Amino acid sequence: MKICVVGTGYVGLVSGTCFADLGNTVVCVDTNQEKLALLNAGKSPFYEPGLAERITRNSEAKRLFFSDSLVDSMAEADLIFIAVGTPPLSSGQADLSAVFGVAEAVFNSYSQQALSDFKVLITKSTVPVGTGEKIKAIRDKCGVAESKVAVMSNPEFLREGTAIYDFFHPDRIVLGSDSKAALDKVSELYDPLYRRDTPIVTTNLKTAELSKYASNAFLATKISFINEMANICERTGADVEDVSKIMGMDGRIGKYFLHPGPGYGGSCFPKDTRALVYLADQVGYDLSVVKAVENVNQFQKEHVLTHVLNYFGNDLSNKKIAILGLSFKPNTDDTRESSALVIIEQLLAAGADVSACDPEVKRLTKFESHASFGIVNNAYEAADQADAIVLVTEWNAYRELDLHRLKEGMKQAVFFDLRNVYAPEKLVKAGFNAYVLGRQLLKAPASQSL
Ligand code: NAD
């Protein structure tokens, strides 16, 4: 099929490249010239495992193209995917200006170019329930018949860091439309995946739109729930890892998203929970569970500082803290809403020096001009002359650190592990005073600690 994907971010570029990998001809459109220059040079504008090779392979095979012209790129396309950003406004509401902008451009272009072939305009961006109806209203305003361009919602569930795998092995594909012709056509596109037993759920527009928010809000709920259990464990001496394992063994609960940590981040959960709460308010419903989930998440991010302050007697002046991990999760360079940003901001405000590292994030513009902040090459450099380590993101590079080597370079041997990567006993054995999230502080015998 001929496909046009608008927006070459984590969703658009991965989907477009993978559609090309399946043999389709794909043009990815973006307004960002810097991104387009990189893409046209065969490079990925962001880090996603396996993506760069696929971009090169499909570009060379003349199945994948990049353009800044929506008008030219959509003319031949059977399917047009909208995959632009839907960032939060200060109210929490999703900013849909880019989505509606693309929809208007598509319908105007369709009528002005006097195109006659049937197309499906598909929203892959995460949009509030009712957006598809508004897109249909734009179509009507532009005088394009429903039989010419059908509107569909196809929410995306891929995860950054494993996006390629997720594209080819989705748990489900959701297609929402009231056009049977559109449902048939897009089912055909996904047919190669369906043959691997991927369930395709066809439903109406509104249900497809809401299902994405419902899924993200539920996953965020699991995270906030286990974080609350971790906080109870810290106060009682129960072991949160075991609590999580025992809960996860229950088929009704499931083992995923039950890892305690410093709060969820990224470009989806925080904005999508806020947008869902906003939407619920608009329709006169108080979404109390999701509001509580957000509050717990904010507490969890900010609470890290309390632990550090408690340890150092509320005085971080002349203290150097090493931060391991800046991305919101491993295997991505995405720092949007990363807990590391909140933790670093608070540490700097409390007077600490911060030396950070991350395998992929090499710049953080937010703190670039701060004299007390720097990004170094690796964990050992970050820990050099530090008073404490805070492990924020569980990259593999931080799972098997040489603890003795780390400790040797430090002024004080203190390890805050926010991801339960290390057993507290292992850290203590290496001479660290250890705070592992969800556990009580465990101190090394006085002779071992620096
Ligand atoms: P992103 O910010 O990485 O990329 C968006 C891209 O759209 C940018 O390259 C931007 O330049 C481009 N763009 C904006 N306006 C445009 C226009 N008018 N024409 C052409 N290009 C335009 O966003 P993302 O992370 O890929 O997310 C896109 C959507 O998918 C969001 O709604 C998000 O909630 C949803 N989503 C994201 C993920 C994820 O893991 N990132 C997962 C599922 C769903």
pLDDT for 252 beyond 60: yes
Among 95-99, 199-203, 429-433, 443-447, the minimum mean pLDDT is found in: 443-447
Digit-coded pLDDT (tens) for 398-419: 999 999 999 999 999 999 999 9
Q: How far is the CA of 82 from the centre of ligand 1 (A)?
A: 9
- Cβ-based neighbour number of residue 157 at 10 Å: 17
Give the mutation target among 10, 28, 124, 271 for probing the ligand 1 site: most ligand atoms within 8 A of CB.
10
Res 193: pLDDT: 84
In short, whether 203's Cβ falls inside 6 Å of ligand 1 is no
Each as own residue / partner, the long-range contacts of residues 249-258 (CB below 8 Å, 24 or more positions apart, any chain) are: 256/222, 257/219, 257/222, 257/223, 257/226, 258/222, 258/226
Nearest CA owner, ligand 1 atom 37: 11
Give the mutation target among 84, 86, 209 for probing the ligand 1 site: most ligand atoms within 8 A of CB.
84
Among 283-292, 325-334, 440-449, the minimum mean pLDDT is found in: 440-449
Digit-coded pLDDT (tens) for 102-133: 999 999 999 999 899 999 999 999 999 999 99
Catalytic residue numbers read 268
Digit-coded pLDDT (tens) for 142-194: 999 999 999 999 999 999 999 999 999 999 999 999 999 999 999 999 998 87
Q: How far is the CA of 268 from the centre of ligand 1 (A)?
A: 11
Digit-coded pLDDT (tens) for 265-285: 999 999 999 999 999 999 999
| pLDDT grade for 360, boundaries at 50, 70 and 90 | very high
Which atom of ligand 1 is nearest to 35's Cα? 9
In short, whether 85's Cβ falls inside 6 Å of ligand 1 is yes
Q: How far is the CA of 98 from the centre of ligand 1 (A)?
A: 9
Token duo for residue 67:
């353009």
Tell me the whole-structure pTM to 2 decimals: 0.95
Res 195: pLDDT: 72
Q: For residue 122, what are the β-bridge partners?
A: 81, 152
Which atom of ligand 1 is nearest to 86's Cα? 32
Res 279: pLDDT: 97
- CA–CA separation, 235 and 230 (whole Å): 9
Nearest CA owner, ligand 1 atom 25: 10
Of the candidates 14, 60, 51, 9, the residue with the CA atom closest to the CA atom of residue 30: 9
- Cβ-based neighbour number of residue 425 at 10 Å: 12
Q: How far is the CA of 294 from the centre of ligand 1 (A)?
A: 23
In short, whether 71's Cβ falls inside 6 Å of ligand 1 is no
Res 448: pLDDT: 57
What Rg value do the Cα atoms of the chain yield, rounded? 24
In short, whether 260's Cβ falls inside 6 Å of ligand 1 is no
> Taking residues 319-348, what's their average pLDDT?
97
Residue 423's contacts (CB-CB under 8 Å, 6 or more residues apart) are 436
Which atom of ligand 1 is nearest to 32's Cα? 11
> Taking residues 11-17, what's their average pLDDT?
98
Q: For residue 80, what are the β-bridge partners?
A: 4, 121
Work out the mean pLDDT of the chain and round it to a whole number: 96
**What is the DSSP secondary-structure string of 103-148?**
HHHHHHHHHHTT--S-EEEEE-S---TTHHHHHHHHHHHTT--TTT
In short, whether 160's Cβ falls inside 6 Å of ligand 1 is yes
pLDDT for 292 beyond 90: yes
Q: How far is the CA of 279 from the centre of ligand 1 (A)?
A: 20
pLDDT for 317 beyond 60: yes
Q: How far is the CA of 29 from the centre of ligand 1 (A)?
A: 11
In short, whether 83's Cβ falls inside 6 Å of ligand 1 is yes
Res 198: pLDDT: 81
In short, whether 126's Cβ falls inside 6 Å of ligand 1 is yes
Nearest CA owner, ligand 1 atom 44: 156
Give the mutation target among 11, 123, 331 for probing the ligand 1 site: most ligand atoms within 8 A of CB.
11
pLDDT for 445 beyond 90: no
Nearest CA owner, ligand 1 atom 3: 9
Q: Write the single-letter amino acid at 429.
A: K
Q: How far is the CA of 86 from the centre of ligand 1 (A)?
A: 7
Q: How far is the CA of 387 from the centre of ligand 1 (A)?
A: 40
| β-pair type (25-29, 64-67) | parallel
